[in-house]
Structure 1
């Protein structure tokens, strides 16, 4: 599986050996020259790979984007994902040919994890510490901000006959949403293979914790609309049978890729969605159509 992304190059000074000796710039001119971003499209090829032990830190970092400062054993959750590497994938940059190895890139860059797609059976694995912590965290937030939904949410989590899959779809913000389509398709195929082998990847429902945000300043009568960091997840939300949103404003200083400052007009949130299994394919069909038209 391959995808492409667009990047804006970091501001940098460019010089040409034939011209630099003949041009003198004072400090102010050089500062102005360097302060202008260079709009440049860089084509980067990605591919999906099975998780392995070397992905531990990259996967754990992506999980931290979701759970931030929450009391969850992310090391155990990461190891759980790696141990079931026949399900899901990580996204990495494709190997660069030998001729291109001297382009200034760190040799470890190609092994960096840019995205993750997987699912954990939180019914079967309910005795794992990390799963217990996830369940407790979300029950507490449901009770605090959507108390009327708590009985349904609790019943779902404690029903041993109807298995629930914790759907994990994470990537860095500069990775375009188009990459989510083959990742979801791959995950569904992996689950179908496991089901044919009588493995416990047949789910009645999926649960996802989605990164969201909204403008500050809304009132109780009229809250600002919730915006999804991964835009395709808005369509998953539309087919969910239960959802609630809670603030992670106090945890935002651990956001990967930069801090939110105190003047940021956006409030950091998490939206929990419960998606019936038969609606996942419905949402994916809509996601494909939406992304194809953009």
Structure 2
């Protein structure tokens, strides 16, 4: 069980060892134990690592936002949310999770831009219509949940981060801080399969039409998102605004060549159901005994 952290100076939760396959072989598997540590945000340490993870979270549309301002806003509330590190506090985070009060920060330009963006995206998908009404309301208390991790970071770090977030929100509400939400909005990423550029090049002309068919099934970069959407009032994906070719990194181009098309996603959960959703994440992603 994850211990609730003190909200004052940094107190680490005990990180369960996570076994990672370091061999690349199914027949001869070497397991490596990695100790992950949970920390409060530290403005003088975490700015650049946090900004990099935000850029990864928003994908090609990251260039639409002032990520420096958004990172600074997250760092201004250091006792809400967590970073996960391996080599001590003075290193960049492998992952982070936090929540921002959209109404409380409505005059902050970074939140204005992000809220307007999400409002537009919610209108592009009928499955997100409930979100459109909430974001347009001046009285709603929406907690914007932002979370991201490095691509090789195990999903098992997610349940403790969410569990600690609930504890920290409860403590903040007891202290009369503005974290008494009516809804939580998780911004994340999904993907679906498209025609692989490599398959298209290699396929005979008669088979190219078959190779060009795309799958409509949605897949999750974060396994916990599949659990969260089962508890959602509304959830859905959306296309990114920016062209995928604009400033695309080689690693992202490789995704496209392999037939994977990322897209943004939103999951809206009523506050009364959030704790149950977090418990379900823990049950789904608990390390094997």
Structures share a fold, TM > 0.5?
A: yes
Give the gaps of 5 or more residues in structure 1: 12-37, 96-108
TM-score w.r.t. the length of structure 2 is 0.77
Tell me: CA distance 1:83–1:92, structure 2 relative to 1, closer, same or farther (3 Å): same
Q: After TM superposition, list the pairs within 5 Å mapping 1:170-189 onto structure 2.
A: 170-189=148-167
* Structure 1 segment 67-146 matched on structure 2, within 5 A: 67-70=58-61, 71-95=64-88, 111-144=91-124, 146=125
Which SS does the other structure have where 2:243 is aligned? helix
1:51 aligns with 2:41: yes
CA contact (8 A) 1:87 1:190 kept: yes
CA contact (8 A) 1:93 1:110 kept: no
What is the alpha-carbon distance in structure 2 between the residues aligned to residue 225 and residue 147 of structure 1? 17
Distance in 1, Cα, partners of 2:160 & 2:75:
20
Query: Does the 8 Å contact 2:127/2:234 carry over to 1?
Result: no
Q: Determine whether 1:226 maps to 2:206.
A: no
Partners of 2:42 and 2:128 lie apart in 1 by: 38
1:149-182 Cα shifts (integer Å, max 9, x gaps): 54x3332013233200110121112222221111
Gaps of 5+ in 2: 1-12, 196-209
**Structure 1 residues 248-291: Cα deviation after superposition (integer angstroms, max 9, x where no partner):** 38347778892233422111111111111111111122222222
How far apart are the structure 1 equivalents of 2:247 and 2:20? Answer: 23
C-alpha distance in structure 1 between counterparts of 2:42 and 2:141, whole Å: 26
State the partner residue of 2:173. Answer: 195
CA offset digits 1:118-171 (Å, max 9, x no partner): 100011101111111111111222233x15754x33320132332001101211
Equivalenced residue count is: 250
Cα distance in 2 for residues equivalent to 1:47 and 1:123? 31
Task: Name the counterpart of 2:253.
Answer: 260
Aligned with 1:285 (options 248, 254, 279): 279
Distance change >3 Å, CA 269–CA 55, structure 1 → 2: same
Partners of 1:124 and 1:288 lie apart in 2 by 30
Q: CA deviation at 1:51?
A: 0.7
Which residue of structure 2 aligns with residue 22 of structure 1? none
Which residue pairs with 1:275 in the alignment? 269
Which of 6, 9, 17 does residue 4 from structure 1 map onto?
A: 17
